[in-house]
């Protein structure tokens, strides 16, 4: 935890065109440590002019980078992977300081990033096309070419992971990138820029410009005519603003947006394992992840047991300073998020759900000034309540009872979101039946939040467009070009007769 009087960590520069430069029309902004509400770093924020410079650098770097043989791009990505492996403990510490996510979580997450960078390196020479049989007289084939300059706009809950999921496939495909991290958590993206620099990436291939969203660096990136694609993770309303802002430029988009994932527990499930997963996925990241199972649908015969179990386990969660390894859960990442979570607790009580655990901000002693929230459990939730329909992004579990399989499916799908779902059952037929009918980009059966770089990640409905990770991730950064060659060179005169 930052002690009063400790000098601020200083990040006075943006990373543009391979140089560390002061903002031309930006400012220096303090980044807040959410565990105590005090500034801990001072960070350069770029303005529209800085984005213009970064896009120009990325555009200049694009021709050479996109033509570079895939195995050479792969070699650089592998050097970056090794650098990330060495830096992982420090990156975890910095990310925890900037966004309050418990160190045990950032260590586990960022500790795996080297493997993910290696996976993306392995894709760098896999962007092949296909040949298309038509007639003997022609040879038709496709090639795939990188789309151009990518604007990556990332959120504050998992800043490094979100950057990795965008920069990995973009760079493997041969695109160049301008990364704009969230205003609440800019630090680790600048650290990542340092690693790119040390790994020897050519100037302009990766540029990092922290800044504001609406009216600032983010919006300029979204409207810039030379940005071919926006890869965005964040809120649905922001995605719509980005779409509107970029409409005149006809960009490509991938959107990884919110979720309200149903986590279904049938009465034949291994109850203890289901509770491990359901409680863990309700409160992980202090509730600040779109794939968490925040709607827990429990079959009636085991519903009361589940409510008791959730309340019992909520009391066991060690909420505390996020840098202490024994803390399970840190604070919410910023003051507005804490206020938002508390307002949903009020809404839940007001709408008649039963608050069986938590529901309050934690203050006093070590907690003072921090944005700490108790792990919270609502029982007897109706799926029509706001706490069941809207994404809270706080550690709030809503337990909803159901009777029959059909009802579980209907409740699961009665949501504007469709990112992820989980289900627990020992019945293989039921697992297949239910998972095939859930409207979600990902379904986990007898496990939850099993996320790997090799498996596609993304949602349907209001949860987004496109997929990150998996071989599919590459598609979002490549255009398809079709070439048809006549083998004879004969072309009939259309006006001969």
Binders in 328-357 for ligand ADP, by CB under 6 A: none
Nearer to ligand ADP, 56 or 242 (CB): 242
Cβ proximity to ligand ADP: between 242 and 421 the closer is 242
Specify the residue for token string 């996109």: 66
Measured CA to CA, the distance from residue 38 to residue 5 in angstroms comes to 10
The rounded distance, in Å, linking the Cα atoms of 296 and 379 is 10
Neighbours of 313 (CB within 10 A): 20
Check if 240 is active-site: no
Q: Of 33, 50, 219, 475, which lies in the binding site for ligand ADP, with binding defined by CB under 6 A?
A: 219
Residue environment code for 223-232, b if the CB has 16+ CB neighbours within 10 A, otherwise e:
bbeebbbbbb
The residue within the footprint of ligand ADP, chosen from 47, 213, 246, 262 (CB under 6 A), is 213
**231 forms part of the interface with ligand ADP (CB under 6 A):** no
Residue 427, token pair as written in the block = 């019945």
The question of whether 27 is a catalytic residue gets the answer no
Distance, in Å, from the CA atom of 397 to the CA atom of 376, rounded to the nearest integer, reads: 6
| 242 is a contact residue toward ligand ADP (CB under 6 A) | yes
Q: Which of residues 309 and 468 has its CB atom nearest to ligand ADP in the complex?
A: 468
Instruction: Report CA-CA distances (Å) from 180 to 15, 154, 156, 172.
Output: 11, 6, 11, 19
The least distance separating ligand ADP from the CB of residue 379, rounded to whole angstroms, comes to 28
Select the residue interacting with ligand ADP from 132, 214, 247, 432 (CB under 6 A). Answer: 214
Q: Binding segment for ligand ADP among 96-104, 126-134, 237-245, 309-317 (CB under 6 A)?
A: 237-245
Indicate the residue among 156 and 402 with the shorter CB distance to ligand ADP: 156
Residue 138's φ and ψ, nearest 5 degrees, are -130, 155
Backbone dihedral angles phi then psi of residue 240, each to the nearest 5 degrees: -65, -40
CB of 341 to ligand ADP, least distance (A): 13
- Biggest alpha carbon distance in the chain? 94
**15/180 Cα distance (integer angstroms):** 11
Minimum CB separation of residue 279 from ligand ADP in Å reads 24
- By CB under 6 A, tell whether 238 contacts ligand ADP: yes
Scanning 167-175, 234-242, 246-254, 339-347 for contacts with ligand ADP by CB under 6 A, the matching segment is 234-242
Write out the E strands in 55-205: 131-132, 138-146, 149-153, 176-180
Q: What is the DSSP string of 375-416?
A: -EEEES--TTSHHHHS---SSEEEEEEE-SHHHHHHHHHSSS
Closer by beta carbon to ligand ADP, 180 or else 252: 180
State the nearest-atom distance from the C-beta of 235 to ligand ADP, in Å: 4
Q: Judge whether 309 counts as a catalytic residue.
A: no
**Residue 378 interacts with ligand ADP (CB under 6 A)?**
no
Residue 96 CA to its chain's centroid (Å): 16
463 binds ligand ADP (CB under 6 A): no
- Fill in the DSSP letter of residue 329: B
Rounded distance between C-alpha atoms, residue 252 and residue 381, angstroms: 39
To ligand ADP, the closest distance from the beta carbon of 180 in angstroms equals: 6
Based on CB atoms, which residue is closest to ligand ADP, 234 or 348? 234
Instruction: Report which residue's Cβ sits closest to ligand ADP.
Output: 213
In sequence order, what are the residues at sequence separation of 6 or more whose Cβ sits closer than 8 angstroms to the Cβ of residue 425? 266, 268, 269, 431, 434, 445, 446
Does position 235 interact with ligand ADP (CB under 6 A)? The reply is: yes
The structure tokens listed for 85 are 């492996």
Catalytic site residue from 95, 183, 391, 468? 468
User: Which is closer to ligand ADP, CB of 188 or CB of 383?
Assistant: 188
The minimum distance between CB 239 and ligand ADP, in angstroms, equals: 7
Whether 166 is catalytic is: yes
Kind of pairing between the strands at 396-402 and 229-233: unpaired
- Helix, strand or coil for residue 150? strand
Catalytic one of 180, 290, 391, 439: 290
Task: List the catalytic residue out of 95, 166, 219, 260.
Answer: 166
3-state helix, strand, coil in the chain (%, to 5): 40, 25, 40
50 contacts ligand ADP (rule: CB under 6 A):
no
Pairing mode, if any, of strands 27-33 and 138-146?
A: unpaired
Least distance in angstroms from the C-beta of 22 to ligand ADP? 20
CB of residue 244 vs ligand ADP: minimum separation in angstroms?
9
Question: What residues numbered 251-310 form the site for ligand ADP, per CB under 6 A?
Answer: none
Within 129-168, which residues bind ligand ADP (CB under 6 A)?
Answer: 153-156
- What residue has token string 């070009």? 481
Catalytic machinery residues:
166, 256, 290, 468
- Contact residues toward ligand ADP (CB under 6 A) are 153-156, 180, 182-183, 213-214, 218-219, 222, 234-235, 238, 241-242
């Amino acid at each position: 935890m930052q002690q009063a009087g400790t000098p601020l960590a200083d990040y006075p520069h943006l990373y543009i065109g391979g140089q560390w430069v002061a903002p031309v029309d930006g400012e220096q902004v303090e980044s807040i440590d959410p565990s105590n509400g005090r500034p801990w770093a001072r960070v350069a924020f770029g303005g529209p002019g800085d984005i213009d410079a970064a896009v120009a650098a990325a555009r200049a770097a694009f021709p050479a980078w996109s033509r570079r043989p895939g195995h050479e791009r792969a070699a650089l990505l592998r050097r970056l992977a090794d650098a990330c492996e060495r830096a992982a403990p420090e990156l975890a510490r910095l990310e925890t300081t900037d966004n309050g996510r418990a160190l045990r979580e950032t260590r586990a997450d960022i500790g795996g990033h080297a493997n993910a960078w290696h996976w993306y390196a392995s894709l760098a020479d896999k962007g092949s096309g296909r040949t298309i049989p038509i007639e003997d007289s022609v040879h038709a084939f496709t090639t795939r070419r990188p789309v151009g300059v990518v604007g990556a706009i990332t959120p504050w809950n998992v800043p490094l992971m979100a950057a990795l999921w965008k920069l990995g496939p973009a760079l493997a495909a041969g695109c160049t990138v301008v990364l704009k991290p969230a205003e609440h958590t800019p630090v680790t993206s600048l650290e990542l820029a340092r690693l790119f620099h040390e790994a020897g990436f050519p100037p302009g291939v990766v540029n990092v410009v922290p800044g504001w969203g609406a009216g600032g660096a983010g919006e300029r990136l979204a409207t810039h005519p030379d940005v071919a694609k926006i890869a965005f993770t964040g809120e649905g309303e922001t995605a719509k603003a980005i779409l509107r802002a970029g409409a005149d430029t006809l960009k490509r988009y991938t959107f990884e947006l919110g979720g309200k994932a149903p986590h279904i527990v049938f009465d034949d499930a291994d109850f203890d394992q289901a509770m491990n997963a359901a409680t863990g996925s309700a409160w992980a990241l202090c509730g600040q992840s779109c794939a968490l199972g925040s709607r827990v649908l429990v079959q009636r015969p085991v519903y009361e047991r589940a409510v008791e179990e959730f309340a019992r386990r909520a009391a066991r969660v060690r909420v505390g300073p996020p840098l202490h390894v024994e803390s399970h859960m840190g604070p919410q990442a910023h003051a507005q998020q804490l206020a938002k979570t508390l307002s949903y607790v009020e809404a839940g009580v007001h709408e008649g759900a039963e608050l069986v655990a938590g529901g309050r901000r934690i203050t006093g002693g070590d907690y003072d000034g921090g944005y700490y929230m108790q792990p919270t459990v609502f029982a007897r939730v109706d799926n029509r309540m706001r706490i069941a329909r809207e994404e809270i992004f706080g550690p709030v579990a809503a337990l909803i009872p159901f009777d029959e399989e059909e009802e579980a499916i209907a409740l699961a799908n009665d949501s504007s979101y469709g990112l992820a779902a989980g289900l627990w059952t020992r019945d293989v037929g039921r697992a297949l039946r239910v998972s095939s009918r859930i409207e979600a980009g990902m379904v986990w059966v007898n496990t939850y939040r099993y996320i790997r770089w090799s498996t596609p990640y993304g949602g349907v409905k209001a949860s987004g467009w496109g997929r990150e990770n998996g071989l599919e991730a590459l598609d979002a950064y490549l255009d398809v070009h079709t070439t048809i060659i006549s083998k004879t060179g004969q072309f009939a005169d259309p006006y001969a007769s």
